[in-house]
Chain A
Amino acid sequence: MQVQLRILRYDPERDTKPQWATYRVEAGPMDRVLDLLHTIKAETDGSLTFRRSCAHGVCGSDAMLINGRNRLACKVRVDQLGTKISVAPLPGLPVVKDLVVDMEDFFAKYRSVKPYLVNDSPEPERERLQSAEQRARYDDTTKCILCAACTSSCPSFWAAKPYVGPAAIVNAHRFIFDSRDEAAAERLEILADEDGVWRCRTIFNCVDACPRGINITQAILEVSSAVARRA
């Protein structure tokens, strides 16, 4: 079938502002948006620019706004979208070129929540023990691939850019609820800030956007409850 693909393009060395370009591409129903982008880049315009790596939804490179929702281009198929598809860069982040956005602020926020295990107790000779139930407590938030689909779908983030955002909270959650970790209090203190968890308005855009199926709003609520309890 033929698919009409509209792509919001921007070349900072040529354009003053982004503009839509339209392409017609032959595609099958199981083709992914990433396949279509590759076809255009290989056959029509080599300057079409986007990030991609693993091409099967685990590296987090190719999140973009596809038919109005944040999705991974390698994980959404033509049969799920129809023959008219629009593709734009992730909203709310500065555009570098075409579908590439500046991720520096996103990763800086991730780093700000101490996203690593802290445990200064003496190490046992072998592994630390953890029950399957303790392990299950934070399983969901270990799936995050830092693609930024959630944070850049969040109206609270659009309205207040200093907001740490859903992805950073998810990664704080992953350690706050890990029975082996000892720095929950420090993370909760960081997230009690005015740009921390309280900016969440439970709009659920993040849940809808997450390509890993993480219940992000639930995770944020668990963290905000812990922040509230802390005092």
Chain B
Amino acid sequence: MTPSVGAARAPVIHDFQAVIVGAGGAGLWAALELARAGVRTAVLTKLYPTRSHTGAAQGGVCAALGNQEEDHWEWHMFDTIKGGDYLVDQDAAEILAQEAIERVIELERMGLPFNRTADGRIDQRRFGGHTRAFGEGPVRRACYAADRTGHMILQTLYQQCVKHDVTFFDEYHVVDLLVERRGAGGSVAGGAVAYRIADGALHVFRAAATLLATGGNGRMFRVTSNALTLTGDGMALAYRRGVPLQDMEFYQFHPTGIVGLGILLSEAARGEGGYLTNDAGERFMTRYAPRLMELAPRDMVSRAIYQEVRAGRGIDGGDYVYLDVRHLGRDVIEAKLPDITDFARVYQGVEPITQPVPVQPTAHYAMGGVPTTTTTEVVLDKRGTILPGLYAAGEVACVSVHGANRLGTNSLVDLLVFGRRAGRAMAEHCRTAEAPDLAADAHEPVRADLEALRSRSTGENPSHIRRDLASAMMEHCGVFRTDEGLRGLVPVVRELRERYRRARVQDQGTVFNTDLLEARELGYLLDCAEATVAAALARTESRGAHYREDFPERNDDRWLKHSLAYAAEGGPRLKTKPVTITRFEPKPRVY
């Protein structure tokens, strides 16, 4: 007899006021706010905090500081809304653009080593879709630390958490949310169940406020810039507990990934002046975005690359184009783009100082996710009913500040602004709220699930199912989509779920069983894929990153609204939710 997962042992119970799931930028900033407010808080992460994917962000974080040229937060707000193809909730975008300024200044005071201007202020550079005077031309808005801005944000926030003695539970993999039904009046969140990776024990964290800050789900696709650990955990856990997933059909493909591997080469390469060229050596963006050229929003540049490829103008007829920074010169490349230069050398064997770099679009960022208010409370429906005690911030959430397509750097802005707002909202909640009384066996469903997954003696290898899912999603739910492709994908995902129910992990141990946890993560990816495909099939228009070849135009009359996907037997149930429009009426999106 091998010992059983989470064993027959009783779970370890922890009582906190607040629990944060995930230790990237959003989770860490929330933790800092809670620490400052004196709220007893546990931060749970399936990694070590410094491994979080915020650290992989490269190019910069936008804030209208105006250190290099005139800039205004209203311009940033407008760019965010237009970049998001008017699906952005404008009240949220206003908060994002305004508070970006305060957050970046605060990060500097926390010690973040920004690059500096000649007079010692924070340096700023250009980035895709960020413009002066409501679209006139590119503006220098991205504050940066070489091309490791995310690394420095993650390090700085973790350093501050060390300073404030934040309580971390490293390598605790959260496997369930605690949600208690309260009569007919709905539900209330009460913490989370975690699996301690070191020994397989289950830990129940009871709390009055729970934050999902688990990041994205890029591993749903075969070619992605996302870490192997980005498996949509928070989205799926919420979805399973009756929370809808909003705008899942909007998934961003970043134009410049390393061919085959998907490793990101920052937009900063183009912000500093890099070109994209096709097989004829032509700067093809002249045809697609004559004003902003390579600095058009990512959805447009990714589509342009594939259109070049389809027209036979990929390099040597292949499925990629060139990113060319040679004309910037060695000094600029080594000083401002050192990491991505290293990536090209290590992973492609290409020397960017003397050679153009082959690139192709790579799955990068979920605009959709767990719907929230502008104070990060999780929302259950179009009326804005909240699930008391549950919060979400960062990529896992959908406020929505990114709408149908996120602008470069706004992911970092999002996690700073709304990570802090989450911490503040949770601290306020904890002043009066207590953790709800939970059933003594609240952890039992997930214990049984894990045990079933681990103890099956025959069945398919989950890694094969994961591979097939990622390939199918890449093929039919990527940059270009059709009714036929998406309709065909529905039974494919359903079949993959069936195969998953029969899957078997090989490792039956309790110590550091990554085989088991990767299989668990596959279940999360399947949930995200199911919601994504359903929402993409339903949306018969093209908007931002969601491009339907059979419906190539945006259709505001019918589709100027958010989608909500609810988990249900036989496939997701879809609803909609209105978009908040305050200052900027939808207009055609031309760059």
Contact = CB atoms under 8 A, between A and B. Distances in A.
Interface of A: 11-14, 30, 41-43, 45-47, 49-50, 52-61, 75, 77, 96-98, 100, 103, 107, 111, 114-119, 123, 126-132, 135, 138-139, 142-143, 145-146, 175, 178, 180-181
Contacts of A97: 509, 511-512
B587 to A, nearest CB: 34
A47 B105 CA distance: 46
Interface stretch (B8-16, B144-152, B241-249): B144-152
B167 interface: no
Nearest to B230: A53
A50 to B, nearest CB: 8
Interface string B105-143: 100111101111011111000000000000000000000
Contact of A53 (B47, B110, B156): B47
B159 interface: yes
Contacts of B47: 53, 59, 61
Nearest to A138: B113
Interface of B: 3, 47-48, 50-53, 55-56, 105, 108-111, 113-116, 118-122, 145-146, 148, 151-152, 155-156, 159-160, 162-163, 170, 198, 227-229, 261, 263, 339, 342-343, 346-349, 461, 463-464, 467, 505-507, 509-515
A100 B116 CA distance: 39
B342 to A, nearest CB: 8
B346 A77 contact: yes
29 contacts: A30-B348, A41-B515, A46-B507, A46-B515, A53-B229, A56-B261, A57-B342, A57-B343, A58-B55, A58-B56, A97-B509, A97-B512, A100-B512, A117-B110, A117-B111, A119-B109, A119-B111, A123-B109, A127-B108, A128-B109, A129-B121, A130-B120, A132-B118, A132-B120, A135-B113, A138-B113, A142-B145, A146-B48, A178-B113
Nearest to A59: B51
Contact of A59 (B56, B461, B515): B56
Contacts, number: 154
B531 to A, nearest CB: 24
B111 A60 contact: no
B286 to A, nearest CB: 32
Contact of A142 (B51, B152, B463): B152
B507 A13 contact: no
B121 A107 contact: no
Given A58-B339, A129-B121, A116 B506 contact: no
Given A47-B507, A175-B111, A130 B116 contact: yes
Contacts of A129: 119-121
Contact of B163 (A103, A116, A142, A145): A116
A53 B145 contact: no
Contact of A58 (B111, B151, B229, B347): B151
B51 A61 contact: yes
A217 B454 CA distance: 46
B56 A54 contact: yes
A42 B462 CA distance: 8
A116 B514 CA distance: 32
A96 B346 contact: no
Given A103-B48, A115-B162, A127-B122, A11 B509 contact: yes
Contact of A13 (B114, B122, B155, B510): B510
A11 B511 contact: yes
B111 A178 contact: yes
Nearest to B226: A54
B463 A52 contact: no
A145 B156 CA distance: 12
Q: Which of B343, B467, B512 has the most CB of A within 10 A?
A: B512
Contact of A146 (B50, B120, B122): B50
A13 B347 contact: no
A158 B39 CA distance: 40
Contacts of A55: 227-228, 263
Given A96-B198, A115-B162, A117-B111, A56 B263 contact: yes
Contacts of A11: 509, 511
A55 B225 CA distance: 9
Given A132-B116, A138-B113, A42 B50 contact: no
Contacts of B151: 58, 143, 145
A126 B120 contact: no
A59 B53 contact: yes
Contacts of A54: 51, 53, 55-56, 227-228
A135 B507 CA distance: 48
A204 B512 CA distance: 33
Contacts of A123: 109
Given A43-B463, A54-B227, 8 more contacts: A47-B506, A49-B513, A49-B515, A97-B509, A98-B512, A115-B162, A127-B109, A175-B111
B122 A139 contact: no
A137 B162 CA distance: 24
Contacts of B163: 114, 116, 118
Given A46-B505, A46-B506, A53 B119 contact: no
B162 A59 contact: no
Q: Which of A45, A59, A130 has the most CB of B within 10 A?
A: A59
Nearest to B111: A117
B113 A42 contact: no
B38 to A, nearest CB: 19
Q: Which of A54, A77, A119, A181 has the most CB of B within 10 A?
A: A54
A16 to B, nearest CB: 15
A59 B55 contact: yes
B346 A57 contact: yes
Contacts of A138: 113
B155 A41 contact: no
Contacts of A30: 347-349
Contact of B116 (A45, A47, A98, A131): A131
Contacts of A61: 47-48, 51
Contact of A115 (B159, B227, B463, B511): B159
A14 B511 CA distance: 11
A50 B513 CA distance: 10
Contacts of B156: 117
A14 B370 CA distance: 42
Contacts of A53: 47, 51, 53, 227-229
Contact of B105 (A50, A57, A60, A127): A127
Contacts of A45: 506
Contacts of B48: 61, 103, 107, 146
A120 to B, nearest CB: 11
Contacts of A128: 108-109
B509 A59 contact: no
Nearest to B163: A116
Contacts of A146: 48, 50
A166 B114 CA distance: 24
Q: Which of B113, B114, B505 has the most CB of A within 10 A?
A: B113
Nearest to B112: A117
B496 to A, nearest CB: 16
Contacts of B512: 49, 96-98, 100
A46 B339 CA distance: 33
B269 to A, nearest CB: 16
A60 B120 CA distance: 31
Contacts of B228: 52-55
A134 B513 CA distance: 46
Contacts of B145: 142
Nearest to A124: B109
